[in-house]
């Protein structure tokens, strides 16, 4: 992601410029964080298929009069969601679900402005060397692809079935998490802390941080599958699934491997197992390094809070505020693990330069 050369360049940047870049990266990361939470609310309120048009330039404004409202409502009435799920919905009811999808897309446009405008300003003022120009340009492209993936996801629910593909939903969410993670990592680079907040780290501990990130990523992907398949609305008990430890339809589909991707009960079961394993691993890792940094105390507590939010969301039959907090918790937890990984990498560079 970053190299010794790109890191050494930051040390030559004037403090005022470095602070400006840091503020830009943190602000962009905050906007992506909000975007993911808004996206969760949009999905949870079943608002994501209310806008059946893709108008990147002129779609920023909502319908401004009754004629325009009737036009977009008429388009929605031709969609599978209206025909199979919301037949008879009134215009006022449509306006309620339309708001969240419109706001979600508007926030995506704001992210583009918040990231791109300062980037091109910094570029014009020659704030970056070639390595950082490439880094930030790739991130800009990745953000654009994330937006396109959002529309590709929506399209899957406008053809036959009144639901988006859970695979496309997982890809859309994963790209958002990747963008958020990279923004944070770059922000930590530009902070240029004088001393490490983690002491006495050996190189092999970077591997433990990476394992933690991979486990979190898998848990989040299956969480997206749960959301996309509405699998959180079944087996609303914990720790058992109903009256048993295993759902009766665990291997209902053939071939057996298909169940972890397509079977509602198995998807939820897989998410549970991944979440438990991830929390156990993060707790072990945190206890192992408890005295090295306060960061590990935060990771431990956040992992337990995140698991509690997940259980509460399930028991509440996916109460929207809890479910949105659960998604926010995943972002915070990833941010903490990324911070630890960054500090480990910085210690490596310091040892290399010593």
CA distance 142 to 217: 18
- pLDDT > 90 in the chain, percent: 77
Over 90: is that where the pLDDT of 193 sits? Answer: no
Please list, in sequence order, all residues whose beta carbon lies within 8 angstroms of the beta carbon of residue 216, skipping any fewer than 6 positions away: 278, 330, 333, 334, 337
Six token digits for residue 318: 């996916």
Q: Phi, psi at residue 244, to the nearest 5°? A: -125, 160
CA distance 30 to 331: 10
In this predicted structure, what is the pLDDT of residue 149? 94
Over 70: is that where the pLDDT of 3 sits? Answer: no
Residue 323's pLDDT band, with cuts at 50, 70 and 90, is very high
29-51 per-position pLDDT tens digit: 999 999 999 999 999 999 999 99
215-241 per-position pLDDT tens digit: 999 999 999 999 999 999 999 999 999
Residue pair 195/173 in contact by the 8 Å Cβ criterion: no
Q: Which of 67-81, 180-194, 288-302 has the highest mean pLDDT?
A: 67-81
120-133 per-position pLDDT tens digit: 999 999 999 999 99
In this predicted structure, what is the pLDDT of residue 353? 55
In this predicted structure, what is the pLDDT of residue 196? 52
Q: What is the mean pLDDT of residues 102-107?
A: 94
Sign of the torsion formed by the C-alpha atoms of 43, 49, 51 and 55: positive
In this predicted structure, what is the pLDDT of residue 160? 84
Higher model confidence: residue 76 or residue 9? Answer: 76
Over 90: is that where the pLDDT of 200 sits? Answer: no
Residue 108's pLDDT band, with cuts at 50, 70 and 90, is very high
Six token digits for residue 232: 């959180």
- pLDDT > 70 in the chain, percent: 92
The whole-model pTM stands at: 0.92
CA distance 41 to 64: 24
* Burial (0-12, 13-18, 19+ Cβ within 10 Å), 63: middle
Average pLDDT, the chain: 91
3-state secondary structure the chain: CCCHHHHHHHCCCCHHHHHHHHHHHHHHHHHHHHHHHHHHHHHHCCCCCCCCCCCCCCCCCCCCCHHHHHHHHHHHCCCHHHHHCCCCCCHHHHHHHHHHHHHHHHHHHHHHHHHHHHHHHHHHCCCCCHHHHHHHHHHHHHHHHHHHHHHHHHHCCCCCCCCCCHHHHHHHHHHHHHHHHHHHHHHHHHHCCCCCCCCCCCCCHHHHHHHHHHHHHHHHHHHHHHHHCCHHHCCCCCCCECCECCCCCCCCCCCHHHHHHHCHHHHHHHHHHHHHHHHHHHHHHHHHCCCCCHHHHHHHHHHHHHHHHHHHHHHCCCCHHHHHHHHHHHHHHHHHHHHHHHHHHHHHHHHHHC
Residue 290's pLDDT band, with cuts at 50, 70 and 90, is confident
In this predicted structure, what is the pLDDT of residue 11? 83
Over 60: is that where the pLDDT of 198 sits? Answer: no
Over 90: is that where the pLDDT of 314 sits? Answer: yes
Strand partners for 241: 244
């Amino acid at each position: 992601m970053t190299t010794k050369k790109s890191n050494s360049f930051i040390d030559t940047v004037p403090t005022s410029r470095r602070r400006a870049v840091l503020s830009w990266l943190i602000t962009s990361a905050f906007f992506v964080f909000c975007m993911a939470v808004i996206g969760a609310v949009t999905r949870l309120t079943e608002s994501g298929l209310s806008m059946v048009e893709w108008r990147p330039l002129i779609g920023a404004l909502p319908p401004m009069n009754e004629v325009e409202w009737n036009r977009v409502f008429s388009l929605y009435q031709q969609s599978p969601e209206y025909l199979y799920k919301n037949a008879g919905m009134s215009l006022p009811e449509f306006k309620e679900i339309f708001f969240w999808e419109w706001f979600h897309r508007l926030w995506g446009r704001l992210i583009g402005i918040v990231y791109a405008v300062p980037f091109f300003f910094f570029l014009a003022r020659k704030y970056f060397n070639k390595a950082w120009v490439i880094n930030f340009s790739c991130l800009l492209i990745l953000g654009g692809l994330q937006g396109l993936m959002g529309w590709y996801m929506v399209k899957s629910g406008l053809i036959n079935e009144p639901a988006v593909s859970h695979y496309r939903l997982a890809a859309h969410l994963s790209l958002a998490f990747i963008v958020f993670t990279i923004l944070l990592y770059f922000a930590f680079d530009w902070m240029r802390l004088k001393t490490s907040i983690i002491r006495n780290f050996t190189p092999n501990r970077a591997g433990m941080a990476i394992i933690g990130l991979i486990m979190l990523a898998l848990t989040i992907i299956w969480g997206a599958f749960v959301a996309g398949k509405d699998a959180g609305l079944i087996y609303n008990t914990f720790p058992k699934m109903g009256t048993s430890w295993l759902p009766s339809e665990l291997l209902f589909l053939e071939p057996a491997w298909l169940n972890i991707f397509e079977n509602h009960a198995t998807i939820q079961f897989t998410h549970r197992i991944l979440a438990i394993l991830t929390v156990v691993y993060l707790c072990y890792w945190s206890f192992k390094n408890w005295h090295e940094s306060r960061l590990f105390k935060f990771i431990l507590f956040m992992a337990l809070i995140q698991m509690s939010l997940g259980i509460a969301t399930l028991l509440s039959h996916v109460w929207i505020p809890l479910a949105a907090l659960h998604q926010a918790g995943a972002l915070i937890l990833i941010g903490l693990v990324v911070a630890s990984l960054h500090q480990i990498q910085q210690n490596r560079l310091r040892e290399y330069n010593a």
